[in-house]
């Protein structure tokens, strides 16, 4: 909404002039299982507007542009609203499978005695949630998350901890400089919260200034632990989690169109 509405207001055509809405989203919220459809309705694009969501993890937003381009190239559409939307801070906390099975036994019991017996099977570990985002970024086949995969690549391609630190700090310093010099002026729309707070820039920059690289070098590795600790014993301290921007939220919109539109 925060970026879609300003985009539509700047166009000479009405919101319902679009043929489709295609949005990319990695962590789809349970209360809005098709964010594209929800966005289309909230933007006043009409009840008949076709809208669907695509998901290929981090490439989901770009995939929406590609899918829209193919619809236009094939002649099926002339004008499409595409882009990505994400709010990783809203990723859910999940119950463990053992906790789910316990709940099923308790609420599936047919009488009070059976329910009491089932309830006695409670274990404190049931209260420890599974982080949905962490689970979602872990490959179910090899059981490696994205950070562990990055460490394997660092090992295979000889990327040192110093190399990784230098790249991470430089990346965030570039963003900090671009923000300061107004490089994104006219491209980023401010977001407003319900309590009146304004977010007019990416506040995820954490590594800048002369001490940044030394501070980065002092950080401990955040991946390569746990069940596969031995597998990463030789190189598990190469990479750290802090270079990544926080798990926040954001959105972008564009409208692929036929050449004569």
What pTM was computed for the model? 0.76
Token readout for 208 is 């800048």
Residue 213: what pLDDT?
59
Strands 80-87 and 50-54: unpaired
Which residues have C-beta within 8 Å of that of residue 46, sequence separation ≥ 6? 15, 16, 40
23: closest CA among 49, 184, 188, 92? 49
Rounded mean pLDDT of 202-215? 64
- The CA distance from 77 to 60, in Å, is 20
For tokens 């409208």, the residue is: 255
- Tokens 């994205």 locate to 146
What are φ and ψ of residue 189, in 5° steps? -95, 140
Tens digits of per-residue pLDDT, 247-257? Answer: 667 888 888 88
What does the alpha-carbon distance between residue 223 and residue 237 come to, in Å, rounded to a whole number? 8
- Largest distance between two CA atoms of the chain: 73
Identify the three-state secondary structure at position 233.
Answer: coil
Lowest-pLDDT choice from 53-67, 105-119, 233-247? 233-247
> Is the pLDDT confidence value at 258 over 90?
no
H-only helix segments in 34-94: 35-42, 60-73
User: Contact, 201 vs 188, CB < 8 A?
Assistant: yes
Per-residue pLDDT tens for 33-51?
A: 899 999 999 999 999 999 9
Rg over alpha carbons for the chain, rounded to the nearest Å, is: 23
Structure confidence at residue 234 (pLDDT): 42
d(CA 150, CA 70): 32
Residue 229: predicted pLDDT: 42
Domains of the chain: 4-90+250-254 (3.40.47.10), 93-135 (no CATH), 146-246 (no CATH)
Confirm if 85 and 251 have CB atoms less than 8 A apart: yes
User: Any idea what DSSP says for residue 91?
Assistant: P
Q: Is 50 exceeded by the pLDDT of residue 230? A: no
Q: Which residue has the higher pLDDT, 75 or 213?
A: 75
């Amino acid at each position: 909404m925060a970026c879609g509405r300003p985009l539509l207001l700047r166009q000479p055509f009405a919101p319902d002039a679009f043929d489709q809405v295609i949005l990319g989203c990695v962590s789809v919220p349970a209360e809005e299982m098709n964010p594209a459809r929800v966005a289309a309705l909230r933007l006043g694009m009409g009840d008949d507007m076709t809208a669907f969501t695509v998901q290929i993890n981090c490439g989901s937003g770009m995939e929406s542009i590609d899918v829209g381009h193919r619809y236009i190239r094939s002649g099926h559409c002339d004008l499409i609203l595409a882009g990505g939307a994400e709010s990783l801070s809203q990723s859910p906390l999940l119950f463990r499978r053992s906790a789910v099975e316990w709940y099923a036994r308790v609420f599936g019991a047919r009488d009070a005695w059976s329910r009491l017996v089932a309830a006695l099977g409670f274990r404190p570990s049931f209260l420890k949630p599974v982080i949905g985002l962490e689970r979602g970024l872990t490959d179910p086949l090899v059981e490696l998350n994205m950070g562990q995969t990055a460490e394997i690549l660092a090992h295979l391609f000889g990327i040192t901890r110093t190399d990784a630190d230098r790249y991470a700090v430089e990346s965030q310093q570039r963003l900090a400089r671009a923000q300061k010099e107004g490089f994104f002026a006219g491209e980023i729309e401010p977001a407003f919260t319900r309590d009146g707070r304004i977010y007019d820039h990416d506040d995820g920059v954490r590594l800048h200034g002369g001490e940044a690289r030394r501070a980065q070098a002092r950080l401990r590795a955040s991946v390569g632990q746990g069940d596969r600790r031995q597998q990463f014993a030789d190189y598990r301290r190469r990479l750290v989690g802090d270079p990544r921007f926080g798990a926040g939220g954001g959105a972008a919109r564009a409208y692929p169109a036929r050449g004569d539109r």
